[in-house]
A and B are shown apart, each in its own frame.
Chain A
């Protein structure tokens, strides 16, 4: 299975829009949404059935048994995260608790225990031979990287024979992105032609370099700032990064998305441009002569 990951660094560049189009164009049998904080891919992929669901357990969190609690205050005094509140009863703020276990260990009467806590939910759609793996992280949870890893694992075990998998990545440069990058064959970076977009694109390129992953760049909404678009192409040439195309800003794209469709399901300028980017990207992905350095 060849895995193509789509990243951007900055949010709102059009990762999901492009991922959705790629999935339609390639008729990929396996795809995943790794943006577990705010998954959007399912809104434009038409699923016909209910997904299989299971809870994802992240950090265990502390819980106080009120019946045993003697209100000695030792837990609050030793909690470095201010995660224990006192309001007539001692209560753990599950959002702030980091599961370190100090309160459990200092409690003289064993009233505090670390318990598994559901930090999110994994979903697996099985539809006409297609596998779609996604997840939703619960509000306030901090273990998004681990959930991303689970989403990919879930996809791979359900779709062992699929030739190609398309993965919609998460924004940023932190843990969930690092988790998305692990083990993929190529990453397509979607750049936005703005100062902040370029800054974030450079950070994501650096992150991908650490993993020696084959990378290529495309620009979305390039006509919103042609000068910055030029700069991005220059940066690609200077860094020896394949540039696989530019997509114009397109109000038709917004309409398509709002109708729950991808940009290649309708006839529009961005759809035509995405097709070009897709062709170039897939060629690079399957081209043996451009295999990235083996770790």
Chain B
């Protein structure tokens, strides 16, 4: 069972929910796909037993074979190549690793070398296997890292996994939810929250993923996000009240379900609801 947790914007509670659901379960896998700003590990503080660098392929020229024809320079749509004083210069950070230059070089003068763009870490925190993806600052795309994180988890069918997605609805979010069996959308009870919820709602529909909403930071009075869900017929999986204590625990990077029974109850109940939804979906839409 693979559950993706997403929201239109940062700060709504993706990490709060995914970390606590993972911690509440008997045994689980947590995957931090927010590779630009991974925060899950700050809560789990996992003992890491494994680390792997992730790299992409960048071209390098064999000067003896290069004839200076500039086929590669002219082909590159990203302007990652320049030919100066009989030497080819490759700009690593601009290169998208498409392989075109290598393919089309008439002299076969280009080869590939590996460039590290980030890493993945695996660790244990209680009964949770914590997988963290980290993109090095300055690198363009975290997609290869997310791909690796999810690839490694692909064969896992028995242990429930929680995918903490990047905020927004850009290509890295799409990559993160590709494998998910179910998507939990987190929404804040504000006008901004609804606008952002709508974005991820459109996204999960586009990808035909079953979904439900968790309303976070609920207070008394109007909840525009709840109204939105009712209008669109979106299932509300649970409501987490705005709670100073919860907020403080979270801002101190403490896992609520491990600190206080009352939160354990809240998240266990949410977990059961989610599991029921997933099983229902699997039965109705195999």
Contact = CB atoms under 8 A, between A and B. Distances in A.
- Among A11, A171, A195, max chain B CB count under 10 A is at A11
Interface string B233-255: 00000000000100110111100
Contacts of B103: 78, 102, 105-106
Interface of B: 8-12, 15, 36-37, 39, 42, 75, 77-78, 96-100, 103-104, 137, 140-141, 167-171, 174, 188-192, 195-196, 199, 202-203, 206, 219, 221-222, 224, 244, 247-248, 250-253
A255 B221 contact: yes
What is the interface of chain B mostly: helix, strand, loop, or mixed?
loop
A47 interface: no
A147 to B, nearest CB: 11
Nearest to A260: B191
Interface string A106-146: 10000000100000000000000000000001011110100
B23 to A, nearest CB: 17
Contacts of A172: 10, 36-37
B96 A10 contact: no
A72 B171 CA distance: 28
Contacts of A38: 8-9, 167-168, 195-196, 199
Given A10-B37, A139-B170, A258-B191, 4 more contacts: A13-B11, A102-B98, A105-B100, A194-B253
B192 A10 contact: no
A43 B195 contact: yes
Interface in A35-53: 37-38, 40, 43-44
B129 to A, nearest CB: 21
8 contacts: A10-B11, A106-B103, A140-B169, A141-B170, A142-B141, A199-B42, A225-B251, A254-B219
B192 A43 contact: yes
A254 B189 contact: yes
Q: What is the predominant secondary structure among interface residues of chain A facing chain B? A: loop
B16 to A, nearest CB: 10
Nearest to A145: B140
B98 A11 contact: no
Contacts of A200: 37
Given A102-B98, A140-B171, A258-B222, A171 B42 contact: no
A171 B9 contact: yes
A61 to B, nearest CB: 11
Interface string A4-27: 000001111100100000000000
* 8 closest A-B pairs by CB: A12-B11, A11-B10, A194-B251, A100-B98, A195-B253, A11-B11, A37-B168, A102-B100
Nearest to B253: A195
Interface in A153-179: 171-175
Contacts of B9: 11-12, 38, 40, 171
Contacts of A192: 11, 251
Contacts of B196: 38, 40
A197 interface: yes
Contact of B251 (A100, A224, A255, A260): A224
Contact of B10 (A80, A81, A141, A171): A171
A98 B36 CA distance: 20
A99 B76 CA distance: 10
Interface string A277-291: 000000000000000
Contacts of A199: 39, 42
A175 B139 CA distance: 9
Contact of B167 (A11, A81, A100, A140): A11
Contacts of A40: 9, 192, 195-196
